Structure 1
Amino acid sequence: MMANPIAGPLLNKQSLNNRSAPERILIVRLSAVGDTILTLPVLCALRDRFPAAKIAWVVGKGASDLLRGHQDLDELFVLSKDQTASPRAYWKFLQSIRRWKPDTVIEAQGLTKSALIARCSGAAYRIGLSCSEFEGREFSTWLNNHLVKPEHDQVVLRGLELLRPLGIEAPEVEYRVPRDIQAIASVDVQFRELAVPEHWGMINVGAGWPSKIWPAERYAAVARHLGERWGLQSWIAWGGHEEGKIAQAVVAASDSWARMMPPTNLLELAEWIRRARIFVGSDTGPMHLSVALNTPTVALIGPMPVERVGPLGALHRSVQRDRLSEQERSNRKSDHRPMLSIQVDDVTEACDTLASQSAVADRLAYCDDPHGAGPHGAGPHRLRAA
């Protein structure tokens, strides 16, 4: 175990390797869909190492649907905005966690709000990352009592390093995203009604930050390339009014190679992504979901370091030209320059590189009948976190 001596005290200096195996483990990761997906390998690695343990997760309402029904999870505590806005409701929520009696907490968010939940859980061992630009922030290093100094840059691998004090070293990166029966049935109907072809790609035009939005005319050029070069119709994913307008602009400029997806919930979106031959989009939740579902992914990386947020694995490609310096990253949610520096050729070349790989060739194979039908699932995602 490695700790940051200046970020906060180690309130309990007992080595976790010298105690018995944890029996009740709580993961705390409250934040958005993408961050929740990036933490799933922690859950899978814990289950593989401690098959008899009870494992729970504290998550925000927006990402909770992705965790319900996960094969490795025993309990889910969902924190809503209404609960955080009411001291009484929030206290009752904390008490429900405390009654669950965790003995070990993996505090994977590194903020005061998440570390406070860990502290109030009553767990004796609260593991978090030491202070850095993106983790161990605010008062989290004072509330967690076992701090790990990560050695990797990539966010998934950094999260898995939280498990080192529990004797888990270099686990395989697995997500095991559950499938929802209702979502499968709903998407089956959508595919039939829309005559979705067997071979098609997905382009996601939205993002949580304005700085991660790529121009509609460039996405349209990518759609034309996928159609003319690989015979792939592109289906455009979107959410909300503004993203809908971007999606419409992409379709209008695609020379009929792109169509808008219907409105979907999160589980239906996951089912669409499972069936895509290729996914193109920026650093946001749907892109990380595509990686977790083992769909070949071209990730457009804007303001954040590609070493941190770029996808792992040979099935995926990251595209980044410019990036913000550490001093400039205070404006990372609004500075468009890194995304605008990415050119159409950068993205189409990444698509072609993926297409040339034998592991992806079957998914990108040209279809003589562009109106054929047939869903396509994804195999297991296994990667050694060396």
Structure 2
Amino acid sequence: MASLHGITVHPDCRHFRGDIPCRPNKEHGYQCAGCPVYAPVQQRILIIKLGAIGDVIRTTPLLRRLRQEYPASKITWLTLTPAILPQGEIEEVLKLELPAVLHLQQREFDLLFNLDKDKEACALHDSIRATQKFGYTLHPQYGVAWPGNALAEHKYLTGVFDELSLQNQKPYVQEIFELSGFEFRGEEYVFDTHQDKGYDWSALPQRRPRIGLNTGCGDRWTTRLWSDEKWEALIRQLQSAGYAPVLLGGEAEDERNRRLHATTGAAYLGTFPLQQFINLMHQMDGIVTQVTMAMHISIALRKPTILMNNIFNPYEFDLYGRGQLVQPDRECVCFYRGSCKQGTSCMEELPAEKVFAAVRGSVPV
């Protein structure tokens, strides 16, 4: 507690901002003296998880354990994509920019979790003061990412040797928990459905179940792509069985989705900003997707997820008992590769019938 000109100020409160009025003051007129929601911080926690968006989303289960273990903590999260993190669930979300770095380097934390091997993340791990640190550091001699302690060694090694990554049988979320010193107990994602935004989805099919079909996979590992012919076959099977398929995607998928809409009549509403896209996915009863951002969103929304995978270790993904993972009939030999060594991607050996059967098994009509 401090007194400024005779006014009581609580800079240790979870709500206190210092540069602008806190939310309780703004919404209720409370001041620190006698404030009914005064919440003194007992642990100051920093999470460094920069990107990509999907990796940020699938790190959010850690918030549930931190809140359980440290209910009086103030959590700060440094990221490249602050908009994806749930508002109100984290006291302080900072974007990786010079002002945030200068700010953090003048503070001290009780717990610091660096969950990225990016060199800038590792450098921040080393330059920010904290009583306990978990995750990755910079090797003092060679300047490469390095495990900060024994807890980080397993996740580190599976990231630098393909052979060890192929042998790994731990889902990503479990690895992140263990790296942070916790046992994973099935904690769900912390995520905002944006249902309160009042988006108008009257153009969606009224028939249920709606099955969202995310037809793209990004441009880094295009060996994951499924052909238009496969999507068309799946759409027709879904329609015949009484499902309402809805095409999903971003700008990169727009042309493909327009073609599929024209040839099959499957619903396609166009492209949307991220928050609206998340809420569109929330209107689905199940999602068919490749390993891409939409997969992480689907899992976070607790939708039955039919995940088409070929080039990644299938143990990496935890669908939380909702949905199924399906793979090509031909074994994939292109682990984490963007081009196929055999000329034709094994995804063409994933029949539409196999994906359709997974939908029926996960989302009954």
* Aligned twin of 2:186: 172
* SS at 1:30 equivalent: coil
Structure 1 residue 159 and structure 2 residue 204: aligned? no
Query: What does 1:346-385 correspond to in 2, within 5 Å?
Result: 346-355=354-363, 361=364, 365=365
Structure 1 residue runs without a partner (length 5+): 1-20, 84-89, 132-136, 356-360, 366-386
* Aligned twin of 1:380: none
Superposition deviation, residue 146 in structure 1: 5.9
Query: What does 1:222-261 correspond to in 2, within 5 Å?
Result: 222-229=234-241, 231-240=242-251, 242-254=252-264, 256=265, 258-261=266-269
State whether residues 45 and 74 of structure 2, in contact with CA within 8 Å, keep that contact through their aligned partners in structure 1.
yes
* SS at 1:176 equivalent: coil
* SS at 1:318 equivalent: strand
Question: What letter matches 2:183 in structure 1?
Answer: E
Superposition deviation, residue 311 in structure 1: 3.3
* Aligned twin of 1:53: 73
* Aligned twin of 2:134: 127
* SS at 2:112 equivalent: strand
CA separation in 2, counterparts of 1:319 and 1:138?
40
CA separation in 2, counterparts of 1:221 and 1:138?
51
Superposition deviation, residue 145 in structure 1: 4.9
State whether residues 115 and 140 of structure 1, in contact with CA within 8 Å, keep that contact through their aligned partners in structure 2.
yes
State whether residues 211 and 333 of structure 1, in contact with CA within 8 Å, keep that contact through their aligned partners in structure 2.
yes
* Aligned twin of 2:122: 115
CA separation in 2, counterparts of 1:26 and 1:52?
14
* SS at 2:55 equivalent: helix
State whether residues 254 and 270 of structure 2, in contact with CA within 8 Å, keep that contact through their aligned partners in structure 1.
no
Corresponding residue to 2:205 among 191, 196, 201? 196
Between structures 1 and 2, the one with greater strand share: 2
Query: What does 1:1-386 correspond to in 2, within 5 Å?
Result: 23-61=43-81, 64-71=82-89, 73-79=90-96, 83=97, 90=98, 92-128=99-135, 139-141=144-146, 144-145=148-149, 147-150=151-154, 152-164=169-181, 168-180=182-194, 184-186=197-199, 189=200, 191-192=201-202, 194-199=203-208, 200-208=210-218, 209=220, 210-229=222-241, 231-240=242-251, 242-254=252-264, 256=265, 258-308=266-316, 310-321=317-328, 322=330, 324-325=332-333, 328-329=334-335, 332-335=337-340, 337-355=345-363, 361=364, 365=365
Superposition deviation, residue 284 in structure 1: 0.4
Question: What letter matches 1:67 in structure 2?
Answer: L
Superposition deviation, residue 261 in structure 1: 2.5
* SS at 2:105 equivalent: helix
State whether residues 191 and 300 of structure 2, in contact with CA within 8 Å, keep that contact through their aligned partners in structure 1.
yes
| Higher relative contact order, chain-length normalized (CA < 8 Å, sep 6+) | 1
Question: What letter matches 2:74 in structure 1?
Answer: K
CA separation in 2, counterparts of 1:303 and 1:138?
30
**Which protein has the larger Cα radius of gyration, Structure 1 or Structure 2?**
2
TM-score by length of 2: 0.75
Superposition deviation, residue 129 in structure 1: 6.3
State whether residues 160 and 171 of structure 1, in contact with CA within 8 Å, keep that contact through their aligned partners in structure 2.
no
CA separation in 2, counterparts of 1:33 and 1:339?
24
Question: What letter matches 2:93 in structure 1?
Answer: L
Superposition deviation, residue 313 in structure 1: 2.2
State whether residues 311 and 317 of structure 1, in contact with CA within 8 Å, keep that contact through their aligned partners in structure 2.
no
Question: What letter matches 2:95 in structure 1?
Answer: V
Q: CA RMSD in A?
A: 2.7
CA separation in 2, counterparts of 1:181 and 1:23?
32
Superposition deviation, residue 218 in structure 1: 1.0
* SS at 1:272 equivalent: helix
Paired residues in the alignment total: 302
Question: What letter matches 1:217 in structure 2?
Answer: E
TM-score by length of 1: 0.71
Superposition deviation, residue 52 in structure 1: 0.7
* SS at 1:141 equivalent: strand
Query: Per the alignment, do residues 202 and 146 of structure 1 end up closer, same or farther by CA in structure 2, a change over 3 Å counting?
Result: same
State whether residues 43 and 110 of structure 2, in contact with CA within 8 Å, keep that contact through their aligned partners in structure 1.
yes
The Cα offsets for residues 152-188 of structure 1, whole Å up to 9 and x where unpaired, read as 5211111111232xxx323332112124366x312xx
CA separation in 2, counterparts of 1:120 and 1:22?
22
* SS at 2:179 equivalent: helix
Superposition deviation, residue 68 in structure 1: 4.1
Between structures 1 and 2, the one with greater helix share: 1
Query: Per the alignment, do residues 130 and 297 of structure 1 end up closer, same or farther by CA in structure 2, a change over 3 Å counting?
Result: farther
State whether residues 151 and 178 of structure 2, in contact with CA within 8 Å, keep that contact through their aligned partners in structure 1.
no
* SS at 2:303 equivalent: coil
Query: Per the alignment, do residues 46 and 350 of structure 1 end up closer, same or farther by CA in structure 2, a change over 3 Å counting?
Result: same
